[in-house]
Chain A
């Protein structure tokens, strides 16, 4: 709640490390995106520019297409042949749905946190360094440093430092979610995507994850899909409200929650429907 009283729009640094020279767009920009599953029109003409280095929450009732939209950022629909996408989605000025776009390179720019944590079938440490290893980082010392840094970043180091070699599945579900976050951060992304990342967790673990998101937002562009309005109110800098596959309203959290422009948004945030 305190967050709402603070100034919400921050000065955005224009350039970041992995950006192409001459690219002045934000990390993620969606332009007239349409998505069809077979003949169902799921996402309708969405244009959205996600501000860098802040937390953007996508809210809306079930089945409105929030998760579907989030998954398009990462091209996770690729394996589903029923899905057809038109329009453009720029990640660092590169249209990721262009024919020559290379998918692993795009996914490397984003860490994804799923609804339920999904640790890889290997040890805690190997989970964290799996990404860096994949992208060619070698050397025991170096990998250990990465594990140390990322596990510390998510506050897990002290809890697991004595059992780095034990299977990740032995951790509690809240710890696993933080491990997944550390694993995502280890590939040095610019963007973190969260698909209802706290919905399977107990209140204390969700609070830890929320606090992590807040602490990470000066370094990363964070996009979260959330079901709980209260969570969005607590941590969002920007809010996108979706309804029936359309983007109804996008603005700062302050504006959307306190002064919604659209009648549907108003109804939704006042609990008129869910």
Chain B
């Protein structure tokens, strides 16, 4: 009986892992199969020309650059906000503080809010401030989207920091600010994981940028100009009736996947280097 139980559980574990792995591999296979043939140097080095959406020359450089701009500035802004929030939650408030508990619950709720809601909220904000669809609008909306992700994932690591580390640092005569610097060192691997997760969520999201960043065929040269993004490039091309354009959507998806892969590997690399001194 015990043996059977063990067998069933083993089967369940292996089965689930295999199922999810094969699904992911299948996604990759589809993207590669459909996207690779139309992926060319032209695709990633040029902006769309006149008849691009009818199957003529041009590429998606506008979307690639737009997405990179959007995610870079959003992650930067979110980091500047999230790290202090986590520090406050963990090292200024007490561990059992009610405010901290309420704040964490709020971040969890914000974490779960669909991205279209952030897009809509960003849109109302923009109307309020008289902004048009622009890089800035997109950055604000994506920042709103990824801040909860970032806070919660840094927080998970910060909770694990032993109080002894804080005390050891303070007992050497460190001020609060200097203590936070030491804690940040310990947090670095957690921060890089958080950045990775937020990039993943932010760069691939179409709904937040739909109304806030707009779409354009050129690469934005200022914060006030609208900008294209990869998820929307996929969306628009996929909805075209022309097959050639549809295939380009897959190659845009491939480009997006490759960007995320590169960013993931570099984040993992940095994370490993940064955690070298972790206690």
Partner-B contacts on A (CB < 8 A): 74, 76, 79-81, 104-105, 107-108, 110-112, 114, 116, 118-123, 130-131, 134-135, 167-169, 180, 183-184, 187
Contact = CB atoms under 8 A, between A and B. Distances in A.
B10 interface: no
Nearest to A116: B164
B167 A114 contact: yes
B172 A131 contact: yes
B171 A169 contact: no
Given A167-B277, A168-B279, A169-B278, A118 B173 contact: no
A119 B276 CA distance: 13
B182 A80 contact: no
Nearest to A122: B277
A131 B173 contact: yes
B178 interface: yes
A135 B175 CA distance: 11
A76 B170 contact: yes
Range of interface residues on B (Cβ < 8 Å): 20 to 34
The 7 closest A-B pairs by CB, nearest first: A108-B173, A112-B171, A118-B164, A131-B172, A118-B168, A167-B277, A121-B186
A167 B185 CA distance: 12
Interface of B: 94, 162, 164-175, 178, 182, 185-186, 276-279
A184 B170 CA distance: 11
Given A81-B94, A121-B185, A121-B186, A104 B175 contact: yes
* Centre residue among B94, B167, B171 by max chain A CB count within 10 A: B171
A104 B169 CA distance: 11
Contact of A167 (B94, B164, B173, B276): B276
A168 B170 CA distance: 18
Contacts of B162: 118
A120 B164 contact: no
25 contacts: A76-B170, A81-B94, A105-B173, A107-B170, A107-B171, A108-B172, A112-B168, A112-B171, A114-B167, A114-B168, A118-B162, A118-B164, A118-B165, A119-B279, A120-B185, A121-B185, A121-B278, A122-B277, A130-B182, A134-B178, A167-B276, A167-B279, A168-B277, A180-B168, A184-B171
B173 A122 contact: no
Given A104-B174, A104-B175, A120 B276 contact: no
A80 B94 CA distance: 7
B279 A114 contact: no
Given A81-B94, A114-B164, A120 B279 contact: yes
Contacts of A169: 277-279
A123 B279 CA distance: 10
A110 B171 contact: yes
B165 A134 contact: no
Nearest to B188: A121
A122 B185 contact: yes
Given A120-B168, A180-B168, A187 B277 contact: no
Contacts of B178: 134
* Centre residue among A79, A135, A167 by max chain B CB count within 10 A: A79
Contact of B169 (A80, A111, A120, A135): A120
Contacts of A74: 171
Nearest to A81: B94
Contacts of A116: 164
Contacts of B94: 80-81
Nearest to B185: A121
B168 A134 contact: no
A84 to B, nearest CB: 15
Nearest to B171: A112
A232 B194 CA distance: 48
Contacts of A183: 172
Contacts of A134: 172-174, 178
A135 B172 CA distance: 9
Contacts of B165: 118, 120-121
Nearest to A110: B171
Contacts of B171: 74, 76, 107, 110-112, 184
Contacts of B278: 121, 167, 169
Given A112-B171, A123-B277, A130-B169, 19 more contacts: A76-B170, A79-B166, A104-B173, A104-B175, A110-B171, A111-B172, A114-B167, A119-B279, A120-B168, A120-B185, A120-B279, A121-B182, A121-B185, A121-B277, A122-B185, A134-B178, A168-B279, A169-B277, A169-B279
A235 B95 CA distance: 37
Contacts of A114: 164, 167-168
Nearest to A76: B167
